[in-house]
A and B are shown apart, each in its own frame.
Chain A
Amino acid sequence: DTAVSQTPKYLVTQMGNDKSIKCEQNLGHDTMYWYKQDSKKFLKIMFSYNNKELIINETVPNRFSPKSPDKAHLNLHINSLELGDSAVYFCASSPGTSGTRPHYEQYFGPGTRLTVT
């Protein structure tokens, strides 16, 4: 009964390839996120979607394109992979966003370790 799941767990690929990471949550949450954790273990937000609508888009190269087919899924597609894209990518979800209660705990997926060679 995994709450937030990601596939694949590990992804090894060559520079220049295109790859996707999938995320699904079964918590009924409205908001989903993508985070990148670099080699120094520092976490940074990339994107956030609320009910399939993009609400946060940090300074991320446009080679990264998130897609949310429904509010339970948020996928991350990466074109023309570069060495610097090697990192662990975490998906997360939370019950809601903004409005009268902007703050919710976030529930994280297990992460996808991407290695670009």
Chain B
Amino acid sequence: KNEVEQSPQNLTAQEGEFITINCSYSVGISALHWLQQHPGGGIVSLFMLSSGKKKHGRLIATINIQEKHSSLHITASHPRDSAVYICAGSYNTDKLIFGTGTRLQVFP
């Protein structure tokens, strides 16, 4: 079992739909990162959270420490949101353990 697991692997949506990507992680991981990798290959950090909820524009990230689960939500999805979304956990160090990524395609 991987230390960080994501679902689904692939996701397609129509423009405007509400999207949820899930991430489960192992005991001991104390912070969860959400990253976005665009088709061009660049990686951008979206959120880092160790408790509660964070919001940035149409993106919302939540974490449930007891259940060792985090979700990334995209409201009013748009074709420009099409990318690979990656969750990564870190223990009490900077070392990131990555999930396998969720490929999202949003169609107009």
Contact = CB atoms under 8 A, between A and B. Distances in A.
Contact of A108 (B30, B43, B93, B94): B43
A48 B94 contact: yes
A59 interface: no
Contacts, number: 66
Contact of A107 (B45, B86, B88, B93): B45
Interface in B1-33: 30-31, 33
A91 B42 CA distance: 11
A77 to B, nearest CB: 22
Contacts of B74: none
Contacts of A43: 86, 88, 96, 98
Interface residues of A, number: 28
Contacts of A63: none
Nearest to B100: A42
Interface stretch (A12-20, A68-76, A98-106): A98-106
Given A43-B86, A102-B90, A108 B44 contact: yes
Task: Give the 5 A-B CB pairs with smallest separation, nearest first.
Answer: A103-B31, A108-B43, A43-B98, A105-B45, A105-B48
